[in-house]
Amino acid sequence: MKAFIIDRYSKKVPMRLVEVQEPELQNDDVLIEVHAASVNLLDSKIKSGEFKLILPYKLPLVLGHDVAGVVIRVGSRVRQFKVGDEVYARPPDHRIGTFAQLIAVNENDVAPKPTNITMAEAAAIPLVGLTAWQALVERAHLKKTQKVFIQAGSGGVGSFAIQLAKHIGATVATTTSTANIDWVKRLGADIVVDYKKDDFEKVLKDFDVVLHSQDAVALEKSLRVLKPGGTLISISGPPDPEFAKGIGAPWFVGLIFRLLSSKVRKEAIRQNLNYSFLFMQSHGQQLREITRLIEAGAVRPVVDRAFPFVSANEALAYVEAGRSKGKVVLNLR
């Protein structure tokens, strides 16, 4: 089969399109014929070597964290799916590789594709949908009438998280550029801060939850817009000791994370706030919940642009430029 691989970590060296062996199908796996895959900033960060401490991959490596396609083979213990099923998934970190014609995924990480969207739209959902779900529902326990600040509302995670938070019934604030203000309002944002004109710290106050995805400066400011007892969940770091423990990291990695997060954790304690770092996990059952929301019309995928499979490097460069509204997709069919 054809797949895009990296032979070494590098920001500048492009992925190579090569012939590789088909993935090995384990007893609990489904083999998915990839119809569409989405491109995430996470792919770029792994490619450049930023996650070597967290995710020690064996090279050469096929990137890609989202897939939508059709089941063409099932393992002997698979009970949830059959050949011909349309599915989508976010494979677990140690089994990524959706920039390929085929991928094997454990059935517990897979969900039926929503019936009311295309394969390309379905491929845009898993990573950002699960990130938003695990941040707002699982960790923050966001409730109706609460106030949540979701940074970068026009991005992949932000555009989905706004819709999810609005469905829950929360008041939603976000940041975006001047050109995207009306667009994020249509997604459900109640309060929009134009980051080119205003400082969100001076506009927002007494929030229950912040979903942080920006830099260290925004992180410090975000603590100050929360009310006492509020929760800040970061998907851009710094990683904390609990995260190191959760992934079974070596002691020295745990020590590094403890040092990196020391300042924000101390400041959170001083202000009676809760801080945690989230690195989303694959989860088929949560993806089924998201499927139900999509089929009910409560949330919708947001696709900025679709590229043909052979243009995967161009798609990754487009994502790295940071100007996409929603997700960027590769079409294999």
Q: For position 203, what pLDDT does the model report? A: 96
Q: For position 207, what pLDDT does the model report? A: 98
Sequence-distant (≥ 6) Cβ neighbours of residue 111 within 8 angstroms: 87, 88, 89, 284, 285, 287, 288, 290, 291
Q: For position 247, what pLDDT does the model report? A: 84
| Domains in the chain with CATH codes | 2-125+301-331 (3.90.180.10), 127-277 (3.40.50.720)
CB count within 10 Å of CB 71 equals 20
Q: Give the residue among 247, 207, 262, 214 at the shortest CA–CA distance from 231.
A: 207
pLDDT digits (tens, 9 = 90+) for 104-150: 999 999 999 999 999 999 999 999 999 999 999 999 999 999 999 99
Q: For position 248, what pLDDT does the model report? A: 87
pTM tops 0.75, yes or no: yes
Q: For position 52, what pLDDT does the model report? A: 87
- Walking along the chain (333 residues) 10 residues at a time, the average pLDDT comes out as 97 97 97 98 96 89 98 98 98 97 98 98 98 98 97 96 98 96 97 96 97 96 97 95 89 92 96 96 98 98 97 97 93 94
DSSP state of 165: H
